[in-house]
Structure 1
Amino acid sequence: MLSKRLASTAAICLLLAAGATACGDDKASPAKLDTAKLSAEEIQKQAKDALAGATSVKVVGTIGGAEKMTLDLAVDTQGQCKGTITMPGTGKFELLGDGKQVYLKPDAEFLTNVAGGGADGAKAAELLKGRYIAGVQDDPEMKELTTACNLKELTRSFVEDGKSTDLTKGSAGTVNGAKTFSVKSKNSSGDEIVLHVATEGTPYPLRLEKTGKDGGQADFTEINKPLTIQAPPADQIIDYSMFKDQATTA
Structure 2
Amino acid sequence: MLSKRLASTAAICLLLGAGTAACGDNKASDKAAAPATGAAAAATPTAAQLDTDKLSAQEIEKKAKDALASATSLRISGKMTSDDGVMTIDMVMDSKGQCRGTMALPGMGSFEMISDGTAYFMKPDTQFWKTFGGSNPAVLAKLENRYLTGFQNDPKMKDMTDFCKLADASNQMLDEGSSTPSKGSAGTVNGIKTFSLKEKDDQGEESTLHIATEGKFYPVRLEKTTGKDQGQINFTDFDKPVTVQAPPASSVIDYTKFQETVKSA
What band does the TM-score fall into relative to the shorter chain?
Answer: 0.7 to 0.9
Pairing 1:82-121 to 2, within 5 Å after superposition = 82-87=100-105, 90-116=108-134, 118-119=135-136
The structure-2 alpha-carbon separation of the partners of 1:213 and 1:241, relative to structure 1 and needing over 3 Å to count, comes to farther
* Contact 2:129 2:143 (8 Å CA) reproduced: no
SS of 2:114 mapped into structure 1? strand
* Contact 1:16 1:208 (8 Å CA) reproduced: no
* Contact 1:13 1:63 (8 Å CA) reproduced: no
* Contact 1:112 1:124 (8 Å CA) reproduced: no
Pairing 1:148-187 to 2, within 5 Å after superposition = 148-157=163-172, 161-187=175-201
Q: What is the alpha-carbon distance in structure 2 between the residues aligned to residue 129 and residue 137 of structure 1?
A: 21
Pairing 1:236-247 to 2, within 5 Å after superposition = 236-247=251-262
**Residue 249 of structure 1: CA displacement?**
3.4
SS of 2:99 mapped into structure 1? strand
Out of 107, 122, 140, the residue aligned to residue 155 of structure 2 is: 140
SS of 2:67 mapped into structure 1? helix
* Contact 1:56 1:151 (8 Å CA) reproduced: yes
Q: What is the alpha-carbon distance in structure 1 between the residues aligned to residue 254 and residue 5 of structure 2?
A: 16
Q: Match for residue 206 of structure 1? A: 220
Which amino acid in structure 1 is aligned with residue 247 of structure 2? P
Q: Match for residue 63 of structure 1? A: 80
Percent identity reads 45
* Contact 1:23 1:51 (8 Å CA) reproduced: no
The structure-2 alpha-carbon separation of the partners of 1:93 and 1:182, relative to structure 1 and needing over 3 Å to count, comes to same
Q: How large is the RMSD of aligned CA atoms in angstroms?
A: 2.4
**Residue 10 of structure 1: CA displacement?**
5.2
The structure-2 alpha-carbon separation of the partners of 1:181 and 1:134, relative to structure 1 and needing over 3 Å to count, comes to same
With normalisation by structure 1, the TM-score equals: 0.86
* Contact 1:82 1:97 (8 Å CA) reproduced: yes
The structure-2 alpha-carbon separation of the partners of 1:17 and 1:101, relative to structure 1 and needing over 3 Å to count, comes to farther
Which amino acid in structure 2 is aligned with residue 224 of structure 1? D
* Contact 1:186 1:192 (8 Å CA) reproduced: yes
Alignment deviations for residues 151-199 of structure 1 (CA, whole Å, 9 cap, x no partner): 101134568x424413100011111111111001234555422110011
**Residue 13 of structure 1: CA displacement?**
3.4
Q: Match for residue 26 of structure 2? A: 24
* Contact 2:129 2:144 (8 Å CA) reproduced: no
The structure-2 alpha-carbon separation of the partners of 1:213 and 1:114, relative to structure 1 and needing over 3 Å to count, comes to farther
The structure-2 alpha-carbon separation of the partners of 1:241 and 1:17, relative to structure 1 and needing over 3 Å to count, comes to farther
Q: What is the alpha-carbon distance in structure 2 between the residues aligned to residue 24 and residue 162 of structure 1?
A: 11
Matched, 1:44 2:61: yes
With normalisation by structure 2, the TM-score equals: 0.82
Q: Match for residue 245 of structure 2? A: 230
The structure-2 alpha-carbon separation of the partners of 1:240 and 1:208, relative to structure 1 and needing over 3 Å to count, comes to same
More helix by share: 1
**Greater CA deviation, 227-236 or 140-149?**
227-236
Point out where structure 1 has 5 or more consecutive residues left out of the alignment. Answer: none
Q: What is the alpha-carbon distance in structure 2 between the residues aligned to residue 56 and residue 198 of structure 1?
A: 16
Q: What is the alpha-carbon distance in structure 2 between the residues aligned to residue 158 and residue 72 of structure 1?
A: 14
Alignment deviations for residues 77-112 of structure 1 (CA, whole Å, 9 cap, x no partner): 111100000236642100001000111000113212
Which amino acid in structure 1 is aligned with residue 223 of structure 2? E
Counting matched residue pairs gives 243
Which amino acid in structure 2 is aligned with residue 216 of structure 1? G
Alignment deviations for residues 185-224 of structure 1 (CA, whole Å, 9 cap, x no partner): 2345554221100112211100011344444210000000
